[in-house]
Structure 1
Amino acid sequence: MSTLHEFTTWEPLLHVLRSAHSATPGALGGHVAGRIGTHAYSMPMPWGTMFTMHGQAPDAADRRPEFDAVQRVRRALAQADTDGVSFVAGMSPDGPAVLHLLDFGPAVEAEVSGPLPGALLLVEGAVPEPWRRLPDPVPGAKLSPAADPAALESFLRERLPDAVGATEAELAEAEARLGVAMPDELKALYRVTRARWEDWNDDYESAMRVANVVGCQLLPLDELYIADAASRWSQWRFAAMEAEAVDTRSDTAVQGLVSSPGWIVFGHWDGDRLAVDLTPGPGGHSGQVIVLTREESIGAGLIADSLTQLVLPGRRRRNPRGRADDAPSAVAHVNSGSLRSVEAAAHPALEVLSIGLWEGEPFSLEPVVDLPRLRTLRAEPGTLADPLEISRLTGLEFLELCPQDWRVLLDADAVPRSLLAAGIQVRNDVDPLPVVDLANEILARWDRPLVTRTTLEGSLDPVA
């Protein structure tokens, strides 16, 4: 049985928090809130919000009680087989304490760095539109003139004479698992080395010699995979704001996508993944080598027209071509430092509208009501003249508003039914409990699992 919902599990952490805030009894509106996860935790402390990753202890010795208290909760999380829990605590110097534990459940994305709920997943399994896009067909796509499987294989055998290559049966097995035919260059590479650690006798230097010859750290043949949407997961509230890279120009070498059934990942370097691209853009070549960087969850860059060009000496690397400078942006930011009206943001290709800090008159959404591709709206508090205009945006997938604007929509039963996910825009220092109540009201409209709250009451030793 897990001890997660026992007051004694949390008692040391409550002592730490009460001691830290004893000089400011009214801190954070009378509550202290945070989140404890298996890999990170965050909670407000006098020196700022404490946030540590990967279970590492704070450096200062006098913060050992804090870390020990967190570890006590983490052990309970492991017992409960859950990744994390948010908490809201009210404590008195005289001893009484009330602790609310929030389990976000499967319909809410947790915010790693805070106690508030993240995006509300209104439709099970739904992902933002860019994550659903498939590559456009390019029937005229051809191999690069630089592609030469025979020359590639000959070069690799000369440089890696002791390598253990894959058999034809192993190559066929890899193709069956991937569900796509491997290009001849990729098969030539793995005929020379199948890149298994056991073939290198678990010797790191041997592996790096292969990496230096090939130009990247190779995945073993049986670990090749397709760069699908799941392999580039991103939280909804960030993914819903993406659009720019999806806009593929007519002369672009790499299609601006999140994923493709024709992207075969075969290697990596410094966290970036290399893939052979079988679904190039109109200006590219079938079998070109692209990079999926760790900094981005959408789009890819071109680094070589072929594996031969990547590996052989004197290779020439190319840079990806981006969106034309005069093309309208699919993402528009309206605020004091950017576009200064919704009218200026409106055009048929607009997908994402973000209305930020603004001190002037609030905006009407009338200019974007009939836009065919608008799918995301985010608006800061006080920026909308009439939140009910949102009901006319019938193609919205993601909507992020402050609680006051959500209240207007909910009371009028005017929340767009097209939504796949939603966000509640609040500061990190607000009381999470009213935010959770609002989140549950939204989730209930879609008959989704609610955030559950467990209240624990106990007593701490009085402050001396």
Structure 2
Amino acid sequence: MSTLHEFATWEPILQVLRSVRTATLGALDGHVAGRIGTHSYSVPMSSGSMFTMHGQASGAVDGQPESEAVQRVRSALAEAEVDGVSFVARMSPDGPASLVLLDFGPAVEAEVTGPLPGALVLVEGAVPEPWRRLPAPMPSAKPSPAADPAALESFLRECLPDAAGATEGELAEAEARLGVSLPDELKALYRVTQARWEDWDDDYESVMRLAGILGCHLVTLDELYIADIASRRSPWRSAAMEAEAFDTGSGTAVQGLVGSPGWIVFGDVDGDRMVVDLTPGPGGYIGQVIVLRREESIGATPIADSLTELVFPGRGRRGRRRRVGEEVPAVAHVHSCGPGSIEAAAHPALEVLSIGLWEGEPLSLAPVADLPRLRSLRAHPGTLADPVEISRLDGLEFLELCPQDWRALLDADAVPRSLLAAAIEVRNDVDPLSVVDLTDEILARWDRPRITRTTLEGNLGPVP
């Protein structure tokens, strides 16, 4: 057993939490829950902050009791080689304290922003449908008529006369490493410069000149990589609610993908990735330039028909083409503040349905029962007239409900067996351990590993 499972490790943080709870409520009652990780924590600190991505509460400074208490637990995490741990504590003003540590295990994703379980992965290795989507073949796709590798290379050599370019052998090595043939324009670019800092001989001016020409910082030939599905990870809970409609009969320039074996990342702009696209949509060109934005986990934005057009704006023979015709939303949000309804959302293209706050009569899911592509459903507490109707959604792979609706499904043995993942929507007043019990019950239906609980007992002494 590591020090992570010793009461003494947790005693300082429990003292701080007990002090906060006594000061704010006047007395201790109920539980205190939180999560401490190697890079973030979520606990009710005296500064009033519940969460920080970088490990320090707003207003807290090194040397404060809460900072030192959190760091003590983090040291134990490092010793145990654990990324984080959730906890539920119950403390008495007289001193006795009980602490339950929760190890979510391989079947439950941790929530960075809180102590409760995140998504439950019911099938080992399962990922949401967009993360399984491969590029559709486009046999008629061609490079842009504006693409001109020779002109591109000539212009870049004029701008960067002293740059060190790649040899044909080095280009071939890059192709072998990536498993894809580099388009002629990209080869032309790297024949002029490999973008290695050691080759610039501290010529910062040329580095910035190249960035200005391309509109991004060029990655080196050795760092060139494929923006495949694995390069765009996202937690199940958010990824399941993503959708990008893609109709091969439309004028879509970029396929609605998470990643593609034909997306070659060649540049970076403040975390956004510049990509040469070899698997375009029906309205795109082979070798077009697209941007994968860091705040998005699916799809891409076309910005140029070719690298030539990127360098020579206006040389392309058309404007950016996104989609033509009417676009049918693949995601529907139904709530009291919007004009939508389940009936209006019931279209064969619907993939994701999210039901938010609803002030009217509870809603029936009958209008979406037979939709062929509906795969994700999230319903706010009290919005469903009959949760058991969910059993009619044969293709559902992700489901997020409140504990009461999950209880109704479980008691009726109506949980869809098609599910790959699930989540429990909870409010702040819910006992975390009751959520853990419900989580384990759902996991048991799929024979998945349960959450491990470790209970520590100790005495904090009376409140001063």
Please give the range of the TM-score, normalised by the shorter of the 2 chains. over 0.9
Consecutive unaligned residues of structure 2, counting only runs of 5 or more, are none
Distance 1:432 1:22 in 2: 20
Distance apart, 1:413 and its partner CA: 1.8
Q: Do the aligned residues in 2 keep the contact of 1:116 with 1:428 (CA within 8 Å)?
A: no
Take 1:319 and 1:74, find their aligned partners in 2: how far apart are those partners?
53
Q: Distance in 2 between matches of 1:96 and 1:316?
A: 74
User: Following the alignment from structure 2 to structure 1, what is the Cα–Cα distance between the partners of residues 450 and 58?
Assistant: 34
- Summarize the alignment of residues 43-82 of structure 1 with structure 2, pairs less than 5 Å apart: 43-45=43-45, 48-56=48-56, 58-61=58-61, 64-82=64-82
Corresponding letter in the other structure for 2:89: A
Distance across 2 between alignment mates of 1:257 and 1:303? 17
Deviations 1:62-92 (A, max 9, x none): 9711111111111111111111111111111
How far apart, CA to CA, are the structure 2 residues paired with 1:8 and 1:96?
Answer: 13
Task: Give 3-state SS (helix, strand or coil) of 1:198's partner.
Answer: helix
Following superposition, the deviation at residue 312 of structure 1 comes to 3.7
Q: CA deviation at 1:349?
A: 1.1
**Paired position in structure 2 for 1:294:** 294
* More moved, 156-165 vs 31-40: 156-165
SS in 1 for 2:154: helix
Aligned residue type for 1:367: P
Alpha-carbon distance in 2 for matches of 1:56, 1:169: 49
Show the counterpart of 1:211.
Answer: 211
Aligned to 1:344: 344
Q: Which residue of 2 aligns with 1:440?
A: 440
Deviation at 1:337, TM superposition (A): 1.5
Paired residue for 2:86? Answer: 86
Counterparts of 2:316 and 2:138 in 1: how far apart (Å)?
24
For the structure 1 residues 410 and 204, does the alpha-carbon distance in structure 2 shift closer, same or farther, using more than 3 Å as the test? farther
TM-score w.r.t. the length of structure 1 is 0.94
Structure 1 residue aligned with 2:395: 395
Deviations 1:237-256 (A, max 9, x none): 11111114545661121122
Give yes or no for contact 2:304–2:320 (8 Å, CA) kept in 1.
no
2:158 is the counterpart of 1:152: no
Residue 416 of structure 1: CA displacement? Answer: 0.7
* TM-aligned CA distance change 1:241 to 1:318, over 3 Å: farther
Q: Closer, same or farther in 2 for the Cα pair 1:203/1:76, shift >3 Å?
A: farther
* Range that drifts further, 320-329 or 366-375: 320-329
Which SS does the other structure have where 1:238 is aligned?
helix
The alpha-carbon deviation at position 363 of structure 1 amounts to: 1.5
Structure 2 partner of 1:276: 276
User: TM-score, normalised on structure 2?
Assistant: 0.94
Q: Describe how 1:114-193 pairs up with structure 2 within 5 A.
A: 114-193=114-193
Give the Cα separation in 1 of the matches to 2:412 and 2:121: 22
Query: Match of 2:370?
Result: 370
What is the CA–CA distance in structure 2 between the aligned matches of 1:247 and 1:169, rounded to whole Å?
40
Distance 1:81 1:62 in 2: 24
AA aligned to 2:4 is L
Q: Is the partner of 1:67 in helix, strand or coil?
A: helix
CA distance in 2, matches of 1:326, 1:280: 20
Q: Distance in 2 between matches of 1:315 and 1:430?
A: 60
Distance 2:428 2:420 in 1: 24
1:234 aligns with 2:234: yes
What are the Cα deviations for residues 271-322 of structure 1, in whole angstroms up to 9, with x where unaligned? Answer: 1000001111122111011000111111111111111111247667987555
Secondary structure of the residue aligned to 1:447 is coil
How much is the aligned-residue C-alpha RMSD, in angstroms?
2.3
Give the conservation status (yes or no) of the 8 Å contact 1:339–1:345.
no
The answer to whether the 8 A contact 2:251-2:322 is kept is no
Q: Which amino acid aligns with 2:87?
A: F
Contact 2:109/2:118 (<8 A) preserved: yes
Change (3 A) 1:216 1:27: farther
CA distance in 2, matches of 1:234, 1:94: 45
Deviates more, 1:253-262 or 1:335-344: 335-344
Counterpart code for 1:223: E
The equivalent of 2:305 in structure 1 is 305
- 1:224 aligns with 224
Distance 2:203 2:66 in 1: 41
> Which amino acid counterpart does residue 12 of structure 2 have in structure 1?
P
Q: CA deviation at 1:393?
A: 0.8
The CA distance in 2 between the partners of 1:182 and 1:224, in whole Å, is: 10
- AA aligned to 1:261 is P
Distance change >3 Å, CA 98–CA 322, structure 1 → 2: farther
Distance 1:174 1:144 in 2: 24
1:227–1:261: 8 Å Cα contact kept in structure 2?
yes
Match of 1:260 in 2: 260
CA contact (8 A) 2:254 2:322 kept: no
- Quick one: structure 1 residues 49 and 117, their matched pair in 2 at CA, closer, same or farther if it must change by over 3 Å? farther
Distance 1:216 1:277 in 2: 16
Aligned length: 464
Alignment of 1:415-454 (within 5 A): 415-454=415-454
* Number of the residue aligned with 1:18: 18
C-alpha contact 1:135 1:257 (8 A) present in aligned 2:
yes
| Structure 1 range deviating more: 294-303 or 246-255 | 246-255
Structure 1 residues 174 and 14: alpha-carbon distance in aligned structure 2, compared to 1, 3 A threshold = same
How far 1:211 moved relative to its partner?
A: 2.0
Contact 2:47-2:57 at 8 Å conserved across structures: no
Equivalent position amino acid for 1:70 in 2 = V
Give the deviation of 1:139 after TM superposition. 1.4
- 1:179 Cα deviation from its structure 2 partner: 1.1
Partners of 1:43 and 1:50 within 8 A in 2: yes
Q: Is the 1:103–1:452 Cα contact (8 Å) retained in structure 2? A: yes
Q: Deviations over 1:193-224 (max 9, x none)?
A: 11223323577655434323332111111211
Q: In the alignment, residue 152 of structure 2 is paired with which amino acid?
A: L
Larger mean CA deviation between 449-458 and 192-201 belongs to: 192-201
Deviation, structure 1 residue 138: 1.6
